[in-house]
Amino acid sequence: MLLIADVHGAFDDLARVVALGEPVVILGDLINFVDYRTGAGIAADVFGAEFAQAAMQFRRLGDFAGSRKMWREYAAGREEEVRARVGREIQSQYAQMQEALTGGSGFVTHGNVDVPVLLQAHLPEGFRYLNGEVVEIDGIRLGLVGGGSKTGLNAAGEISEDEMAAILDDMGPVDVLGTHVPPSINALRRDVITGRLEGGSNAVTGYLRRHQPVVHYFGDIHQPQATRWRIGRTLSVNVGYFRATTRAVRHG
């Protein structure tokens, strides 16, 4: 099976991977609000390039309160119009995702920028959404848990540590775990471009230490200090940033 994360609108490259004919596992962040390298995405399409550049700077600084304030000020007095425009762009990107996945097979969970309900609604036949569920694929017990760490942005795809811990406990042991969020290992959650420690999950780390799956795959961190780390017997592997690398990681 092939694993990818952080597609962020790279749907032509996603279609190329799907066309290989192997099962594809996608660990979230299908849509693209802001490409923090170029500014491209929904923010620029709806609000303009200057807004996107400002959003990039807030993100580099980790100033989620400032970013939220800028969004509110931009939309002031026309909240419904802005909400509708953003909604149309999200729907458009999920429609493109649906086209890219059509004809393939595999499993998908959501990331922090995804809208889980819309993601599920746009999955074509052959793909199944998983969140806290276990499936068997090629004799391997695979469990997926979606969601990114909580930030001040309050994005639809964020999940609290308590929620993550409860889902993992209910799921139980697996051979292969896939999450969007990384474990709380500094080298795996440090972005070397911003120099910041991004969100990492203590609940995921605890699960790996308790159950020791063979491998743990994740995404979310686009420019990580380390892409692989041993947590006991478990090898934890960052399979993103697909929008930039256009590469899938083959399990085994």
pLDDT digits (tens, 9 = 90+) for 22-60: 999 999 999 998 888 888 888 888 888 877 777 777 777
For residues 55 and 83, the model is more confident at 83
pLDDT given at position 96:
98
Residue 107 pLDDT level (bands cut at 50, 70, 90): very high
Check which CATH number belongs to the domain holding 182 and give it: 3.60.21.10
Name the residue among 226, 212, 250 with its Cα closest to residue 25: 250
pTM of the predicted structure, to 2 decimals: 0.92
Residue 89 lies inside a defined structural domain of this protein: no
Query: Residues 144-165: what's their mean pLDDT?
Result: 88
Our count of domains for the chain comes to 1
Position with higher pLDDT, 67 vs 33:
33
Strand runs (DSSP E) across the chain, as ranges? 2-4, 24-27, 106-109, 127-129, 133-137, 140-145, 148-149, 158-159, 176-179, 190-191, 196-197, 215-218, 228-231, 234-238, 249-250
| Residue 198 domain-assigned (yes or no) | yes
Q: Which of 160, 138, 163 is nearest to 150 (CA)?
A: 160
Q: What is the pLDDT of residue 47?
A: 84
Q: 68 in a domain, yes or no?
A: no
| Lowest mean pLDDT segment, chosen from 74-88, 173-187, 220-234 | 74-88
Domain membership of residue 199 (yes or no) is yes
For residue 247, pLDDT beyond 90: yes
pLDDT of residue 218: 98
- Give the range of the structural domain holding residue 127, as residue numbers without chain letter: 2-30+106-250
Please tell me what DSSP assigns to residue 147. -
Whole-number pLDDT of residue 37: 82
Report pLDDT for 66.
79
Least Cα distance to 3 among 88, 97, 106 occurs for 106
Spatial CB neighbours of 225, under 8 Å, sequence gap ≥ 6: 186, 187, 188, 190, 191, 192
Q: Would you say residue 48 lies in a domain?
A: no
Rounded distance between C-alpha atoms, residue 75 and residue 240, angstroms: 32
Mean pLDDT, the chain, whole residue set: 92
Tell me whether residue 76 is in a domain. Answer: no
Q: Does 116 map to a domain?
A: yes
* Domain contains 79: no
pLDDT score at 153: 66
Within 10 Å of residue 233's Cβ, how many Cβ atoms?
Answer: 11
